[in-house]
Amino acid sequence: MTAVDGSTVRDPDTLRADMVRALRDRKAIASEPVAAAFAALPRHRFAPDAPLDLAYDIHRTVPVKRDEQGLETSVMSAAHLQAVMLEQAAVEPGMRVLEIGSGGYNAALIQELVGCDGAVTTVDIDRDIVDRARRCLDDTGYDRVRTVLADGEAGVPDGAPYDRIIVTAAAWDIPPAWIGQLTEKGRLVVPLTLCGTTRSVAFDRDGEGLRSRSYCLARFVPIQGEGAAEERKVALRDGIALQTDDKRVALEPTALDQAFDTPRLARWSGAAYDLPDELELYLTLSLSRPARLHAAEYLVEQGLVDASALLGVPALVADGSIAYRTRRENENTGGFESGVIAHGNRAETLADEYVALLRRWARDHRRQGAATFRYLPGNVPSPLPQGAVQKRHGIVTVTWN
């Protein structure tokens, strides 16, 4: 198609075909039913105000709503992530599926997958979003999808049990209703946040709890309402912030800020630095006092903080001291070596603990998908088992293969 100014305008059908091809090439789409669902749906009609290129960009989200501070509370998720999560969910014809967090498009994809014998319910906490999703679904012929206005923390009892529950906002915990509303062989796909990073985890039921089948890094807007995250964040000074959801961590802003004025201790592990997502998960769950360190670019340029903190890096925080991961080129291998930077009175001790973990990961667990997550609902055992993370309604444990 050619525009009046002579430029090429790509029509939605071409963009859609390109999107499906790109999702297949990147292995986000791995099965024919998911490919067929993406090919069938006019994605741009669920983002009527967005430019076509944005609507069909596989990695970008489409903004839908922001709060008073300008933070996004609702987006149309990136097609890449939607495809990955639908593959994790393995939705089959005839299933009953609950989506938590609406928009319309993903629910319509699920409707394609369950077919006319299945049933899809999508619930959102925000009336504007439910109304918008309803309009888009009706306009595109997906009027069979049921839309519900409620806090998804309670699931949607009317319609349970579900074969699949797919959560599309970052959840800090797994409330009892999500497990209770799954069928015996049901699966929950949920972007679960642990110490500031989120992974889409596909859980199957395992006795009273859940056991993971797969996981991958994901970014989502945070869940609101009853289940909102229990996180603490402190700014140490302009451009340096720490966040944690671990009750054992004492975030002492004055002492930690002063620690950055003490000389930096650098320790090298001799171990390879690669598979950053997997290493990060291991560190987050293995550090005795985990937090996440964020730094602004100008402080990195000044040499105060290492570049690893630009996107957030797992940190060990204790007694007003801090240690966090860094890396350097390894001329022998052509790759990178991991290391630690530490500040404060206890820099030596923290660096020792951190380096020992870097070495253990490289020796024992350095591969994709080495972790198995378990969610155990109910009373939190005391003391908390090694490698376990305390949540509101239970604990997450991770074992390494």
Ligand X SMILES: C[S@@+](CC[C@H](N)C(=O)[O-])C[C@H]1O[C@@H](n2cnc3c(N)ncnc32)[C@H](O)[C@@H]1O
Q: Of 223, 236, 341, 355, which one interacts with ligand X (CB under 6 A)?
A: 223
Catalytic residue among 77, 102, 269, 286: 77
| Cβ at position 222, least distance to ligand X in Å | 7
Q: Does 174 bind ligand X (CB under 6 A)?
A: no
DSSP of 296-364: -HHHHHTTSS-GGGTT-EEEEEETTEEEEEEEEE-TTTSSEEEEEEEESTTHHHHHHHHHHHHHHIIII
Handedness of CA 166, 172, 178, 183 (dihedral sign): positive
Site track for ligand X across 111-130, x = CB under 6 A: ------------xxxx--x-
Closest to ligand X by CB, 56 or 220: 220
Closest to ligand X by CB, 139 or 352: 139
Q: Note whether 225 and 151 are within 8 A (CB).
A: yes
d(CA 375, CA 99): 20
Q: Of 77, 200, 212, 326, which one interacts with ligand X (CB under 6 A)?
A: 77
Closest to ligand X by CB, 148 or 265: 148
Buried b (16+ CB within 10 A) or exposed e, 199-237: bbbbbebeeebbebbbbbbbebbbbbeebebeeeebebe
- For ligand X (CB under 6 A), the number of binding residues is 29
Measure the CA angle with vertex 87, ends 81 and 92; round to 5°.
135
Closest to ligand X by CB, 179 or 357: 179
Site track for ligand X across 192-221, x = CB under 6 A: ----------------------------xx
308 is catalytic: no
Site track for ligand X across 131-170, x = CB under 6 A: --------------------xxx--------------xx-
Torsion of the alpha carbons at 265, 353, 322 and 374, rounded to the nearest 10: 150
What residue ranges bind ligand X (CB under 6 A)?
Answer: 73-77, 99-106, 123-126, 129, 151-153, 168-169, 220-221, 223-225, 227
> Which residues are catalytic, by number?
77
